[in-house]
């Protein structure tokens, strides 16, 4: 009996193994097939765009298959090979919706060092896979000269190359622990300093830093008096690069850009901008073990930066032609089209003008179509499709002009002309559209309207009378006794008095609402909490969708917007000191004020310096924002 039980157990175990192997086979075979049928093999090269002389960096070649041989690297002029090629393999298997996919890669890695400054091109590497030669992409690497750090007593210049390849920030300060104007500054520059009135130019604010810059507080941009300005959209994620400037290597980033259109002539000044920079510095700890393992203590310091003022010379335009449109730019073109050239009276015809070019497209006067006098015309419909460029707005303005002819005949719609100042040739240019001849036939009149013919002046053929003469009513006429009249009765005067009272009350309430809406400060204060809650709800949605940077932006907008609306603080004066003083004046306790200021600082820090710890604080920051706004709302009430 025991022997039979052992045989049964052995049989069951063997079947279980067979089923398990079958399941594994079903899982792996589709994955292998998906990989083999996945298409072309890709071969990619990657390296930093900019390095410094003497700096070590990594050059990698990655191929997405392991069935390869005969890897051939290109020549590497301007660089020393410190190590490589080292080879590493990796495999990955994933299953999504029951579909298994498998990928494998081989990476060839070099450690290089730049020997001299210049821009060096690395040709594609080659490798064999599946009986074919595959090439990688080529690379261009710019090598910057080393930093000039000091000058020795004998007059020789000492230099030092940065050893941190590709680091986002270099935390270098002077011996006193202070950040100098050479360690961190913002450069303001313009694309040109001489232009004519209305000619666009680009203003750029660029950060140069060798320190650990975290964020900016209390940013005050100039008011651009004398200019029409439009800000260039920038990427929300900071895009740092490296640049050699005045003998030093900096981490640089374009902070903000504006396209300016001068509205006055003469020498115009762009006032300095102000930035309060928050800088993280590492302080050595007195404990040698803490300094060795943790790097010491990190403290935040503030430094106020000012950009230099810029003066540009704006020249007068030459003598303007009578038909000048006010447009200044280049590459202007005018085209037109018509919906039909044959129609009947009282039918609509549409002439469409398309004006394209680059310049002050929003500040020019639109070209006009002169329809014949007998046409009934309507206000044109305008559609803009512009994009902002260094030379101004580039795109197309579409103008749809609708008209209705009332009389039959042949009519001419004359050509449309457009005169602009061309900044390339420095002269006025006139462009024209084509004219149109349309044939208008006599339309049919209304069936219920009798007509009257007329040859007066050769224009009027029909005149409608059906709307002027009414038919005499036929049938019985109701009669009413002389005394059976509601007018003048008691009920008439009572109803009249009630309606008059209702009118007075309605006018009073309406006047009160107009007064309240006219008081913008009161309306802002009244709606501050509602708008803040709406912004925080948007931040909550971004929190659940794992968009951390957008979450912090929306959360900060909600907090700053609430204080601006609730306390009637203009955006130009919105900073932590003003907010703290205003909250104290409306009897908000110090604990709530400090919670609000700490929340702002933590959100700004997490926005510009994301970390794993910051990600875990998202829910806590969101809850804290709701609590703080609720506490402030109760205190201000």
Query: pLDDT, tens digit, for every residue of 88-107?
Result: 888 777 667 667 667 788 88
CA distances from 621 to 91, 209, 527, 624, 632 (A): 39, 30, 23, 5, 16
For residue 227, count other CB atoms closer than 10 A to its CB: 21
Q: Is the dihedral of CA 630, 635, 636, 637 positive or negative?
A: positive
- pLDDT bin (cut points 50, 70, 90) of residue 521 is low
Q: Does 593 or 260 have the greater pLDDT score? A: 260
Q: Is residue 455 part of a domain?
A: no
Q: Is residue 501 part of a domain?
A: no
**Are residue 330 and residue 296 in the same domain, yes or no?**
no
**Are residue 84 and residue 8 in the same domain, yes or no?**
no
Tokens of residue 86, six digits: 């080292």
Q: Is residue 119 part of a domain?
A: yes
Specify the pLDDT at position 316: 92
Domain boundary among 277, 293, 315: 315
Token look-up 């740092």 returns 240
Q: Does 47 or 621 have the greater pLDDT score? A: 47
Specify the pLDDT at position 227: 92
Locate all alpha helices (DSSP H) within 259-353, ordered by sequence.
288-294
Specify the pLDDT at position 318: 92
**Are residue 427 and residue 530 in the same domain, yes or no?**
no
Q: Does 421 or 295 have the greater pLDDT score? A: 421
**Are residue 203 and residue 234 in the same domain, yes or no?**
yes
Specify the pLDDT at position 115: 87
Percent of the chain with pLDDT over 70: 74
Percent of the chain with pLDDT over 90: 25
Q: Is residue 430 part of a domain?
A: yes
Average pLDDT over residues 193-210: 91
CA distances from 90 to 59, 66, 96, 134, 294 (A): 18, 9, 20, 20, 32
Average pLDDT over residues 390-399: 91
Q: Is the pLDDT of residue 526 over 70?
A: no
Mean pLDDT of the chain: 77
Structural domain harbouring 572? 520-636
Specify the pLDDT at position 130: 79
Q: Rounded to an integer, what distance in angstroms lies between the CA atom of residue 628 and that of residue 465?
A: 73
**Are residue 84 and residue 172 in the same domain, yes or no?**
no
- Report pTM: 0.54
Q: Rounded to an integer, what distance in angstroms lies between the CA atom of residue 401 and that of residue 372?
A: 13
For 214-258, write each residue's pLDDT tens digit.
Answer: 888 888 989 999 999 988 887 767 778 888 888 888 889 888 899
- Exposure letters 268-302 (e unless 16+ CB within 10 A, then b): bebebbbbbbbbbbeeeeeeeeeeeeeeeeeeeee
Token look-up 């002439």 returns 351
Specify the pLDDT at position 516: 63
- pLDDT bin (cut points 50, 70, 90) of residue 430 is very high
Specify the pLDDT at position 289: 56
Specify the pLDDT at position 164: 39
Tokens of residue 633, six digits: 């709302």
Which residues, including other chains, have CB under 8 Å from residue 88's CB and lie 6 or more apart?
106, 107, 109
Highest mean pLDDT: which of 286-295, 338-347, 561-570? 338-347
Sort 400 into a burial class: Cβ within 10 Å, 0-12 / 13-18 / 19+. middle
* Sheet (strand 132-135) strand order: 69-72, 126-129, 132-135
Q: Rounded to an integer, what distance in angstroms lies between the CA atom of residue 37 and that of residue 100?
A: 13
Residue 150 CA, chain-centre distance (Å), reads: 42
For 614-631, write each residue's pLDDT tens digit.
Answer: 556 777 777 888 888 888
Q: Is the pLDDT of residue 77 over 90?
A: no
**Are residue 175 and residue 281 in the same domain, yes or no?**
yes
**Are residue 77 and residue 178 in the same domain, yes or no?**
no
Q: Rounded to an integer, what distance in angstroms lies between the CA atom of residue 277 and that of residue 186?
A: 10
Tokens of residue 237, six digits: 């994620």
Domain boundary among 389, 418, 441: 441
**Are residue 354 and residue 402 in the same domain, yes or no?**
yes
Domain boundary among 293, 315, 337: 315
Q: Is the pLDDT of residue 193 over 50?
A: yes
Element (H, E) at 268: strand 266-270
**Are residue 333 and residue 352 in the same domain, yes or no?**
yes
Q: Is residue 468 part of a domain?
A: no
Q: Is residue 137 part of a domain?
A: yes
Q: Which residues pair with 196 in a beta bridge?
A: 315
Q: Three-state DSSP class for 428?
A: strand
**Are residue 283 and residue 354 in the same domain, yes or no?**
no
DSSP 8-state symbol, 467: T
Q: Is the pLDDT of residue 523 over 90?
A: no
Tokens of residue 579, six digits: 């907010």
Q: Is the pLDDT of residue 312 over 90?
A: yes
**Are residue 174 and residue 292 in the same domain, yes or no?**
yes
Specify the pLDDT at position 24: 47
Q: Rounded to an integer, what distance in angstroms lies between the CA atom of residue 45 and that of residue 43?
A: 7
Average pLDDT over residues 181-197: 89
For 438-474, write each residue's pLDDT tens digit.
Answer: 999 988 753 333 333 333 333 444 444 444 445 455 5
Q: Is residue 479 part of a domain?
A: no
Specify the pLDDT at position 465: 42
Tokens of residue 538, six digits: 């948007």
**Are residue 563 and residue 600 in the same domain, yes or no?**
yes
Q: Is the pLDDT of residue 519 over 70?
A: no
Average pLDDT over residues 482-507: 79
Specify the pLDDT at position 615: 56
Q: Three-state DSSP class for 214?
A: strand
Residue 555 CA, chain-centre distance (Å), reads: 18
Q: Is residue 626 part of a domain?
A: yes
Domain CATH number, residue 398: 2.60.40.740
Domain CATH number, residue 80: 2.60.40.10
- Exposure letters 88-103 (e unless 16+ CB within 10 A, then b): eeeeeeeeeeeebbbe
Q: Three-state DSSP class for 225?
A: coil
501 dihedral zone (left: phi>0; alpha: psi -120 to 50; beta)? alpha
Specify the pLDDT at position 43: 85
* Sheet (strand 139-144) strand order: 50-52, 139-144, 118-122
- pLDDT bin (cut points 50, 70, 90) of residue 291 is low
Which residues, including other chains, have CB under 8 Å from residue 625's CB and lie 6 or more apart?
536, 539, 555, 558, 559, 599
Length of the chain, in residues: 637
Specify the pLDDT at position 432: 94
For residue 206, count other CB atoms closer than 10 A to its CB: 19
If you write DSSP's letter for every residue of 502-559 in order, what string do you get?
HHHHHHHHHHHHHHHHH-HHHHHHHHHHHHHHHHHHHHHHHHHTT-HHHHHHHHHHHH
Give the β-pairing of 194-196 and 310-315: parallel
Structural domains of the chain, count:
5
């Amino acid at each position: 009996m025991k022997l039979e039980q052992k045989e049964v157990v052995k049989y069951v175990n063997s079947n279980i193994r067979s089923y398990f192997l079958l399941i594994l086979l079903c899982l792996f075979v589709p994955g292998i097939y998906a990989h083999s049928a996945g298409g072309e093999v890709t071969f990619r090269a990657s390296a930093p765009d900019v390095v410094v002389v003497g700096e070590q960096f990594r050059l990698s070649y990655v191929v997405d298959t392991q069935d390869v041989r005969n890897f051939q690297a290109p020549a590497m002029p301007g660089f020393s090979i410190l190590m490589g090629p080292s080879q590493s393999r990796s495999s990955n298997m994933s299953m999504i919706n029951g579909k298994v996919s498998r990928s494998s890669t081989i990476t060839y890695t070099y450690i290089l060092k730049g020997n001299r400054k210049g821009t060096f091109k690395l040709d594609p590497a080659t490798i064999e896979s599946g009986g074919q030669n595959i090439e990688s992409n080529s690379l261009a690497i710019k090598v910057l000269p080393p930093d000039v750090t000091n000058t020795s007593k004998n007059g020789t210049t000492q230099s030092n190359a940065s050893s941190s390849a590709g680091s986002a920030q270099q935390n270098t300060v002077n011996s006193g622990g202070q950040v100098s104007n050479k360690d961190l500054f913002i450069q303001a520059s313009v694309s040109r300093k001489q232009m004519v009135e209305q000619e666009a130019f680009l203003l750029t604010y660029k950060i140069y830093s060798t320190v650990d810059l975290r964020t900016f507080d209390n940013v005050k941009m100039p008011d651009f008096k004398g200019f029409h300005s439009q800000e260039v959209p920038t990427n929300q994620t900071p895009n740092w690069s490296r640049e050699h400037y005045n003998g030093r290597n900096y981490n640089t980033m374009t902070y903000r850009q504006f396209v300016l259109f001068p509205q006055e002539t003469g020498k115009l000044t762009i006032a300095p901008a102000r930035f309060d920079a928050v800088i993280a510095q590492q302080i050595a700890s007195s404990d040698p073990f803490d300094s060795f393992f943790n790097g010491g203590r990190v403290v935040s310091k503030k430094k106020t930066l000012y950009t230099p003022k810029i003066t540009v010379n704006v020249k007068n335009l030459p003598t303007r032609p009578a038909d000048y449109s006010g447009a200044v730019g280049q590459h202007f073109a005018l085209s037109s089209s018509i919906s039909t050239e044959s129609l009947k009276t009282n039918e609509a015809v549409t002439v469409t003008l398309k004006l394209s070019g680059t310049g002050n497209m929003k500040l020019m006067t639109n070209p006009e179509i002169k329809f014949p006098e007998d046409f009934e015309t309507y206000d044109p419909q305008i559609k803009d499709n512009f994009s902002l460029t260094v030379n101004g707005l580039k795109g197309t303005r579409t103008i749809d002009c609708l008209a209705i002819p009332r009389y039959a005949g042949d009519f001419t719609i004359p050509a449309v002309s457009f005169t602009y100042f061309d900044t390339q040739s420095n002269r006025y240019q006139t462009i024209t559209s084509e004219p149109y001849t349309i044939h208008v036939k006599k339309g049919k009149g209304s069936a219920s309207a009798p007509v009257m013919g007329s040859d007066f002046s050769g224009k009027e053929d029909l005149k409608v009378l059906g709307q002027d003469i009414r038919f005499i009513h036929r049938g019985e006429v109701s009669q009413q006794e002389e005394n059976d009249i509601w007018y003048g009765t008691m009920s008439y005067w009572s109803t009249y008095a009630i309606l008059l009272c209702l009118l007075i009350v309605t006018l009073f309430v309406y006047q009160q609402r107009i007064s309240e809406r006219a008081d913008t400060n009161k309306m802002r204060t009244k709606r501050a909490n509602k708008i803040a809650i709406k912004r925080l709800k948007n931040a909550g949605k971004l929190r659940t969708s794992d968009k951390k940077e957008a979450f912090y932006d929306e959360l900060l907008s909600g907090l700053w917007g609430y204080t601006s609306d609730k306390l009637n603080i203009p955006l130009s004066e919105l900073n932590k000191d003003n907010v703290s003083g205003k909250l104290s004046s409306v009897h908000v306790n110090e604990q709530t004020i400090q919670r609000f200021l700490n929340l702002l600082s933590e959100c700004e820090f997490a926005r510009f310096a994301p970390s794993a710890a910051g990600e875990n604080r998202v829910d806590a920051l969101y809850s804290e924002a709701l609590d703080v706004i609720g506490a402030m709302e109760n205190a201000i009430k």
